[in-house]
Structure 1
Amino acid sequence: MSHLLTVCLLLLLGWFWLDSLRAREIAIGICQAACRQRELQFLDQAVALRRLGLSWRSEGVRLRRVYRFDFSEEGMGRRQGYIVMRGLHLEDLSFGLPEQVSDA
Structure 2
Amino acid sequence: MLDDLILIALLLSACLYWFSGQRVKEAALKAVQTHCLELDVQMLDEYVALAGIRLKRDRTGKMQLQRTFRFEFSSTGNERYNGVCMMLGRRVESIQMEPYRFDS
- TMscore range, shorter length: 0.7 to 0.9
- Tell me how far apart the structure 1 counterparts of residues 62 and 10 of structure 2 sit (CA, whole Å): 22
Q: TM-score, normalised by structure 2?
A: 0.87
Match of 2:84 in 1: 82
Partner of 2:15: 14
Q: Distance in 1 between matches of 2:80 and 2:53?
A: 24
1:49-82 CA deviation, whole Å, 9 max, x = no partner? 1111111233412111101100001111100000
Q: Please report the RMSD computed on the Cα atoms of aligned residues, expressed in angstroms.
A: 1.4
Partner residue, 1:45: 46
Which stretch has the larger CA shift, 1-10 or 41-50? 1-10
Structure 2 residue aligned with 1:102? none
Report the counterpart of residue 101 of structure 1 in structure 2: none
1:97 to 2:92 alignment: no
Determine the C-alpha separation between the residues in 2 that align with 1:19 and 1:62.
13
Which residue does 1:72 correspond to in 2?
74
Q: Following superposition, which runs of at least 4 residues in structure 1 exceed 2 angstroms of deviation?
A: 56-59
Identity %: 30
Separation (CA, whole Å) in 2 of partners of 1:64 and 1:18: 16
- For residues 12-56 of structure 1, the C-alpha deviation after alignment (integer angstroms, 9 at most, x for no partner) is 101111011111111110010000000000000001111111112
State the 1:96 CA deviation: 2.5
TM (normalized to structure 1)? 0.87
- Structure 2 residues without counterparts, runs of 5 or longer: none
Shift of 1:92: 1.0
